[in-house]
Amino acid sequence: MNRPATTTEPVIITANWADHQLQLAAVRTAVFVDEQGVPEEIEMDAEDARCHHLLALIEQQPVGTARLLANGRIGRLAVIKPCRNRGVGRQLLHASMALAKSLGMNNLHLHAQVQTLDFYRAAGFVAEGEVFVEAGIRHQNMTLSFG
């Protein structure tokens, strides 16, 4: 998943696990398993088949993912290293928020890695509760209410 950075803008598509599993899993494995050391057996889970996925593509290559669960939880937002700090994550987050609104969800929540709290705050999310460890990484719950 170490592709060169380009100047091409990402295209965000809605995806489902059955049709896009290889692309979604490739990004998540590169970021969460290979980079961050999350065990592969907990990275891919039963929720994948039941939730909405978003896939960021640059030149038809997968560079980012996010998923939205039926309970309003955004998760597995990941961007491969060569494409970071180019707005791909922000586009995925905003696409997730727009998808949630279109599905009639009024409240969103997520478990943010502590180093990404400002990223989510910039989109309007508010940190709640104590920092906790999930998959060996420090996280904090964050919420966002529409309207």
Residue 122 scores a pLDDT above 70: yes
Task: Identify whether 84 is part of a domain.
Answer: yes
Full domain range(s) for residue 45: 11-104
Contact assessment for residue 103 and residue 77, using Cβ atoms and an 8 Å cutoff: no
Confidence at residue 147, expressed as pLDDT on a 0 to 100 scale: 66
Could you tell me the CATH number of the domain that includes residue 26?
3.40.630.30
The answer to whether position 92 is within a domain reads yes
Cite the beta strand spans of 23-125 per DSSP E: 52-58, 61-68, 73-79, 107-113
| Residue 140 within any structural domain of the chain | no
How many domains does the chain fold into?
1
Token readout for 129 is 């509760």
Calculate mean pLDDT across residues 82-93.
Answer: 96
Q: Does residue 31 sit within a domain?
A: yes
- Across the range 6-15, mean pLDDT stands at 86
Q: What is the mean pLDDT of residues 82-86?
A: 94
| The pLDDT of residue 32 | 96
**pLDDT of 109 higher than 60:** yes
Q: What residues contact 106, with CB distance under 8 A and at least 6 apart?
A: 145, 146, 147
